[in-house]
A = this chain, B = another copy of it.
Amino acid sequence: MSYTFLLPCANPPAPAINLLASKISRTRPSFPCRSSMEKQQLIKGSKLMEFPYLTDPHRDTMVDLISAMENRLGSHLLPSSVPPDVEHYQNESGTSQGTLHIRCGIDSSPIDFVLASWLHLEQPTGGALDITNIAGYLKSSTDVPHFQFELVKCSPTFLILFLDLIPRKDIVFSPDYLKTYYEDTQLEKFRQQLDQLPEVKPYFSSSLYFRCVVSPTGILVSIKCEDGAGPERVEEIIREHVRPMSNDIMKIWIDMCVGEGVQVGETERAVLEKRDSLIKSKAIQMDLSSSMPKQFGQEVADRVLRVIKSVYNV
């Protein structure tokens, strides 16, 4: 999922990054495998984990989620094969920066890839947009939903949050799918909890297509705290609500991933693959291809996009 799905403007200022590493890299990582400890340290020392432009609660939320993925799914994943100049990149003046961390699943894992990134985008109108993104995509051998967390800081008093387990099937056609992954897991309670805060409002993406991608319990909201202690209240909401519920939903998702799961037959696999592929193609078509060059220049955009398309397999 591209996080520019979230941006309301007709001409989105943010590029999207999501995935990377060619199919080959999934079985042949571009650098030798490191021990678990070494990998942890690699991430810890990376530009990704610096989160230079975020508030403490926002950074803590990202660190929690990345750590949960690394710790619980580490044995499923190959080391990152993102080239250094895509792991961290910037525009010519250095005012806009991006990072990208991706690890593909090993052959025997249901994980296709996990991804984490942040983007800092200077806006022509002043101010900056800070986008953080964590995703976990599954292979078509399972029908477990994809995980997606995106938190966009539009200003110190205005955020957009997308937190969802993205369905792999048409739920209208598959009531059992709804029951297994959304009703039995009681995901709705998280959405309702956030919905009770007066600063939180449902957010409508400008993309009608994206609205259809979101699950029925998907959290897609704006958080606006313009009165009184605005920035402090935003931080409080992240610390007391967004962070704990993101951790809870990540845990539910990881439990699904490492659990028994549903065995998917050949015909259904083809359908899942096509549906996933349509979502990814639509994401690239909608924003990556046009906004990335604007934000980072053609050369950088081409480099990052090549990697993304390769992992998207589109």
A212 within 8 A of B: yes
B213 pairs with A217, CB closer than 8 A: no
This chain: copies in complex: 2
Using Cβ atoms and an 8 Å threshold, which residues of chain B touch A170? 170, 172-173, 275
- Assess whether A197 is interfacial by the CB under 8 Å rule: no
Size of interface on A: residues with Cβ below 8 Å to B: 25
A279 on interface, CB distance cutoff 8 Å: yes
Q: What secondary structure prevails in chain A residues at the interface with B?
A: helix
Does A265 interact with chain B (Cβ within 8 Å)?
no
Chain B nearest CB, measured from A213 CB (Å): 6
Determine how close the nearest CB of chain B comes to the CB of A210; give it in whole angstroms. Answer: 8
Q: Which positions 160-180 of chain A face chain B at CB distance < 8 Å?
A: 170-173, 175, 178
In the complex, the answer to whether B173 meets A213 with C-beta atoms within 8 Å is: no
- Given the complex of chains A and B, what is the CA–CA distance between A209 and B236 in angstroms? 33
- Closest CB-CB distance, A139 to chain B, in whole Å? 18
- Out of B171, B208, B275, B282, which one reaches A217, CB within 8 Å? B208
For the complex, give the distance between the alpha carbons of A171 and B211 in Å: 10
Chain B residues closer than 8 Å to A171, beta-carbon distance: 209, 212
A274 within 8 A of B: yes
| Residue ranges of A at the interface with B (Cβ–Cβ < 8 Å) | 170-173, 175, 178, 182-183, 188, 191, 195, 202, 204, 208-209, 211-213, 216-217, 274-275, 278-279, 282
Q: Which 5 A-B pairs have the closest CB atoms?
A: A170-B170, A211-B216, A208-B216, A171-B212, A202-B202
